[in-house]
Amino acid sequence: MLTEKKREFIQFMLSADVLRFGEFVTKSGRNTQYFVNTGMYRTGAQLSRLGEYYAAMVADTVGGEFDAMFGPAYKGIPLAAACASSLWREHGIDKPYFFNRKEVKDHGEGGSTVGYKPKDGDRVIIIEDVITAGTAVRESMSILKACGDITVPDIFISVDRCEVGQTPGKTAIMEVEEEFGAKVHPIVTVLDVYDYLKENGDPALCKAMEGYMDRYCILR
């Protein structure tokens, strides 16, 4: 259901040119009528607002019941930093964050991560942009497991595209949840985007979106 908060977030993505409508082809080769690129967030005001949306979702679902947050390089780095800042500023929850290097540093302090150093027993949440095929999540899990005996109970993303994954009848997010036991929390889903389009878009684009969802999406 498209709530006022979700509507506000979609409008925010549109204003930042992060969410676009038109004709696009995803990395997996699928034709889609919308595209999400969080790399387009580029001002302090945008990053501050984005952090507020993520932090509100974290506070509402898990509160402070975790030890650290992980932002996968590269797009997840500013997301985790903004979320950590807003969690403290808006909710009084002060938690560390960390991110990975694309190339392991072999001098200075060394290592493959920057920031908080996770330890055995830690509960780490992941702050991501979107999950399309689950490849990035699997890479993140591999990085985190190399850091120690930690658990990842929750993953937070901007948009759930609800696209079918590698297993018939299951979305990529369903696969990730089953494989790793982590609950994925999206701020909005493709249905929210579609409902917004119905309110504000043209009928032809809405019909094209319906065709895309019928072909590629599993709605739950």
Spatial distance between the Cα atoms of 123 and 154, rounded to a whole number of angstroms: 9
Rg (CA), the chain: 18
Report the b/e string of 46-83 with b at 16+ CB within 10 A: bbebbbbbbbbbbbeebeeebbbbbbbbebbbbbbbbb
For residue range 145-164, list pLDDT tens digits in order: 999 999 999 999 999 999 99
At 79, is the pLDDT very low, low, confident or very high (cuts 50, 70, 90)?
very high
Domains contained in the chain, number = 1
Q: What is the domain extent for residue 195? A: 4-102+111-216
Residue 104: its pLDDT value, please? 59
105 is catalytic: yes
* Cα dist from 147 to 112, 154, 162, whole Å: 9, 17, 30
Instruction: Please list, in sequence order, all residues whose beta carbon lies within 8 angstroms of the beta carbon of residue 43, skipping any fewer than 6 positions away.
Output: none
107: pLDDT strictly greater than 50 = no
91 is catalytic: no
Active-site pick, 91, 95, 107, 145: 107
Q: Omega into 54 within 30° of 0, i.e. cis?
A: no
pTM of the model: 0.92
Active-site pick, 27, 102, 105, 198: 105
CATH number at residue 203: 3.40.50.2020
